[in-house]
Amino acid sequence: MEMQRRLRNLAHPLMLGAAFAASATPATTQSEQRVRSPDGRNEVTVESRDGGLYYSVRRDGQAVLLPSRLGFLFRADSLHNGLRITSVTRDSADQTWTQPWGEVASVRDHYNELRVQVAEDRAPGRRFAVAFRVFDDGVGFRYELAESAGFADFEMMEELTEFALADNARAWWIPANKPEPDRQEILYSSGPVSRLDTVHTPLTLQMSNGTQVVIHEANLVDYAGMYLVNLGGRTLRSTLARWADGVAVRGRAPFVTPWRTIQLADRPEDLAPSTLTLKLNPPSRIENTSWIDPMKYVGIWWSLHIGTETWGSGPKHGATTANTKRYIDFAAANGFGGVLVEGWNLGWDIDWFNTGKANFSFTRAYPDFDLPEVARYAKQKGVTLIGHHETATMIDNYERQLEPAMELYRRHGVRAVKTGYVGDLTEHGHAHQSQFMVRHHRRVIETAARNGIMINVHEPIKDTGERRTWPNILSREGARGQEFNAWGGEGGNPPEHETILFFTRMLAGPMDFTPGIFDLLIERPTGTPRQPHEARPRTTLAKQLALYVVLYSPLQMAADLPENYAGQPAFQFIRDVGVDWDTTRVLEGKIGDYVVVARKQRDTNDWFIGAITDEEARSFEVPLSFLTAGQRYVAEIYADGPGAHWRDNPLPVVISSHPVDSTTRLPIELAPGGGQAIRIRPER
Ligand code: NOJ
Ligand code: CA
């Protein structure tokens, strides 16, 4: 195998350095064109056959995607027959950039590109190109529609891009059509790809030969979000989110689509951190990013979800001046950067989450909340408020107030805003992932950037790497977060949930999961804890700590009530843990079972390890060979205590310190539903 790989590399010499070597070839014998990744392992073939245009993907010579059709369905007609490759151009690049923040400090963008020019043989004779970029970690391709006779304004009903899986790979997925097309807050299922219906991306697939495949998209700017629909058997096809009138995309050629991405890896551990989508987004539009600050935060939030306080007015109103100051004091005392305040603005007293009813003001406060005073107090304590804009998907109402709302926050030194889109369709019936909403989200991000404001979106548009271009979009939700563990009933997240998230949702980008619940039994005011069948975090306390390292977010919440951290030695880990990383290494991982990840903090020599398991107890021995050789370190370990179990004994944590170095093999023991959190710092 190794020899084959080298031979391939010889046949396709690497173009190193910042090479931009483009050359055009008239495609005379153009029926089949190939391009390989710089390491020679991934190969894309493009061919036109019987008037159809197809691409296929191989890794180490083995099929990943069989010939898969390309094309479009417009309102007027289709564009996927009578197609001919007219010429091809080749290109390559190798460049590295430093991220303002991230799971890794620097990203290498190294690819070979094949751009295939295609013409329609019959009237109206439209022309387009498909650009394929082949990286060592996967493939990206997009369509570039050229302006040609009879092809300017268009209404696209469907993009006909197929992904014909070469075997009945095991998929981890959430449905994109049940109960509503756009809901992302659903538990993951797994099973053979042949059993899928319509699913969200990222879609993670494991082939029988062990190859890991993740289908997603990059640079969704002015287009509809893509779901994947099963055409029967193992072939998936793109299907797009819609405007209320059923159209997917309105555009005007010349026009480029988002990139369709196929991440490839040998083992699940090699999937993260995923930088493929970042490489397929344009560089930052924000020149000076020094105001963009990853941080930990607390806030008036968990109390609202467990019901001890309310968003709306009344005796339990959470967002009062006094209560917010209490949170500011707590944040300042513990070195946290922000305090989220939900429920300070008018509009929470009605049935706001029933689509069509919400009518929030984003500038007017309840009488018991004094924004100027709270903002002044926060500033004096060196903490920023994190503002809140729950829109309930009433987009007109929000857009009308967007400028003054952001401006108000800016004036009061509020440096971050959490937005929210509870509801399935907008007031006009556009889907959450529709082109309408894609445009809306861009507008919000850009308006925020102009006001020096960072954004954290809940019920978001999916992450397609926007943070490269707009580094002020720090985090988002877009999956079931901790909130599901608050709501009582039977609906909490199962112990395996986060071990799936890591290999699915998290491959798209940061998630505001909101870890750090210490009162895991959620004691009621009467002192009785919730029962095991009731929703509550189904983890041990040590696992709550480990989630800070496992589930990456540059905004990381200490989600529990301040009083629940009082007198808890384990809280020290939340105070210490980093939020911005130089390096990330996945040491162990099996989708749905466990994850062990090590991350080196940016600008310090501290490493953090997070290990989590599902409902099974597990043990690992982790070589610390990533530490600097010859340097002595101390490992501060927060482990599941004796007898710890997510179901009936989640609280025991044993904290210990041990000298370690790069030759140490660290034993890690996890309880059922458990975890372990470790800080490794140079010996002082
Ligand atoms: C849902 C969000 O996920 C949650 O964090 C927020 O508190 C509520 N909406 C209200 O905006
Ligand atoms: Ca939510």
Q: Is 560 in the pocket of ligand 1 (CB under 6 A)?
A: no
What average pLDDT does the segment 1-10 reach? Answer: 35
Confidence of residue 523 (pLDDT cuts 50, 70, 90): confident
Mutate to test the pocket of ligand 1, among 184, 354, 390 (most ligand atoms within 8 A of CB): 390
CA 598, CA 664: separation in Å to the nearest integer? 14
Is the model's pLDDT at 267 over the cut of 80?
Answer: yes
Nearest atom of ligand 1 to the alpha carbon of 305: 7
Does residue 268's CB lie within 6 angstroms of at least one atom of ligand 1?
A: no
- Distance between CA atoms of residues 542 and 549, nearest Å: 12
- The closest alpha carbon to 104, from 456, 600, 553, belongs to 600
160-176 burial, b at 16+ Cβ within 10 Å, e below that, comes to bbbbbbbbbbbbbbbbb
Q: What is the mean pLDDT of residues 382-399?
A: 98
- Tell me, in angstroms, the distance from the centre of ligand 1 to residue 420's CA: 6
Ligand 1 lined by 580 (C-beta under 6 Å): no
Distance 482 CA to ligand 2 centre (A): 9
Smallest-distance ligand from the CA of 391: 1
DSSP alpha helix (H) spans, 451-566: 497-501, 541-550, 562-565
Nearest CA to ligand 1 atom 3: 458
For the CA of 422, the nearest ligand: 1
- Residue in 301, 349, 422 to alter for ligand 1 test, most ligand atoms within 8 A of Cβ: 422
Q: Which of 297, 340, 342 to mutate to test the pocket of ligand 1 (most atoms within 8 A of CB)?
A: 342
Cis check: omega of the bond before 124, within 30 degrees of 0 = yes
* Share of residues in the chain with pLDDT > 70 (%): 95
**What are the Cα distances from residue 158, in Å, to 175, 270, 462?**
19, 33, 19
pLDDT at 61: 98
Give the ligand at the shortest distance from the Cα of 420: 1
Ligand 1 centroid vs 86 CA: distance in angstroms?
Answer: 51
* Whether residue 14 has pLDDT greater than 60: no
DSSP lists the bridge partners of residue 129 as: 117, 144
Q: Is 512 in the pocket of ligand 1 (CB under 6 A)?
A: no
Q: For this structure, is 269 an active site residue? A: no
Mean pLDDT of 291-308: 97
The mean pLDDT value of the chain amounts to: 94
**pLDDT given for residue 25 in this prediction:** 56
Give the integer Cα–Cα distance in Å for 33 and 44.
8
pLDDT tens for residues 470-519?
999 999 999 999 999 999 777 899 999 999 999 999 999 999 999 999 99
**For residue 430, how many other CB atoms are within 10 A of its CB?**
23
- Dump pLDDT digits (tens) for 135-175: 999 999 999 999 987 788 999 999 999 999 999 999 999 99
Binding site membership of 606 for ligand 1 (Cβ less than 6 Å): no
Q: Is 293 in the pocket of ligand 1 (CB under 6 A)?
A: no
Here the tokens at position 521 are: 């039994």
Distance CA 458, CA 436 (A): 17
What atom in ligand 1 is closest to the CA of residue 514?
A: 5
Indicate whether residue 312 lines ligand 1 (CB < 6 A): no
Q: Contact, 253 vs 438, CB < 8 A?
A: no
| Local confidence band at 204 (pLDDT 50, 70, 90 cut-offs) | very high
- Average pLDDT on 10-22 reads 35
Ligand 1 closest atom vs CA 481:
3
684: buried, middle or exposed (CB in 10 Å: 19+, 13-18, 0-12)?
exposed
389 lines ligand 1 (CB under 6 A): no
User: What is the per-residue pLDDT across 560-570, written as a single tens digit (0 to 9) for each?
Assistant: 999 999 999 99
Q: Which of 340, 353, 458 to mutate to test the pocket of ligand 1 (most atoms within 8 A of CB)?
A: 458
* Lowest mean pLDDT across 290-299, 308-317, 450-459, 525-534: 525-534
Instruction: Give me ligand 1 centre to Cα 248, in Å.
Output: 28
Atom of ligand 1 minimally distant from the CA of 458: 3
Distance CA 239, CA 248 (A): 9
Q: Is the CB of 422 under 6 A from ligand 1?
A: yes
Nearest ligand, CA 478: 2
* Residue in 115, 124, 126, 53 with CA at minimum distance from that of residue 84: 53
Question: What residue's CA is closest to ligand 1, atom 2?
Answer: 458
Distance 458 CA to ligand 1 centre (A): 7
| Ligand 1 neighbourhood includes 370 CB (under 6 angstroms) | no
Q: Whose CA is nearest to atom 7 of ligand 1?
A: 301
Point out the ligand 1 atom lying closest to the alpha carbon of residue 420.
11
**DSSP for 348-368?**
TTS-TTSTT-----SS-B-TT
Whether the pLDDT of residue 10 is over 50: the answer is no
The ligand with the least distance to the CA atom of 389 is: 1
Is the CB of 477 inside a 6 Å radius of any atom of ligand 1? Answer: yes
Q: How far is the CA of 43 from the centre of ligand 1 (A)?
A: 43
What per-residue confidence (pLDDT) applies to 552? 98
Mean pLDDT of 607-625: 98
Instruction: Check residue 24 and give its pLDDT.
Output: 54
Mean pLDDT on 76-90: 95
C-beta of 309 in contact with ligand 1 (< 6 A): no
Ligand nearest to the CA of 459: 2
Q: Which atom of ligand 1 is nearest to the CA of 185?
A: 3
Q: Tell me the mean pLDDT in the region 197-208.
A: 98
Q: What are phi and psi of 602, to 5 degrees?
A: -70, 140
Separation of 241 CA from ligand 1 center, angstroms? 23
If you measure from the C-alpha of residue 282 to the centroid of ligand 2, how many angstroms do you get, rounded to a whole number? 29
- pLDDT at residue 18 tops 60: no
pLDDT reading at 6 higher than 60: no
How far, in Å, is the centroid of ligand 2 from the Cα of 477? 7
Q: Which of 483, 496, 498, 636 is catalytic?
A: 483
Per-residue pLDDT, 526: 74
Ligand 2 centroid – CA 85 distance (Å): 46
178 burial (CB, 10 Å; 0-12 / 13-18 / 19+) is: exposed
CA–centroid distance, 459 to ligand 1, in Å, is 8
From atom 11 of ligand 1, which residue's Cα is the shortest distance away?
Answer: 390
**Token pair belonging to 346:** 């008018």
Residue nearest to atom 6 of ligand 1 (CA): 420
The ligand 1 atom nearest the CA atom of 301:
7
pLDDT at 355: 74
Q: Hey, what are 105's tokens?
A: 């400090």
**Measured in angstroms, how far is the CA atom of residue 522 from the centroid of ligand 2?**
20
| Ligand 1 neighbourhood includes 182 CB (under 6 angstroms) | no
Closest CA to 614 of 44, 120, 190, 129: 190
Q: Residues of the chain with pLDDT > 90: what percent?
A: 89
Residues 449-456, mean pLDDT to the nearest whole number: 98
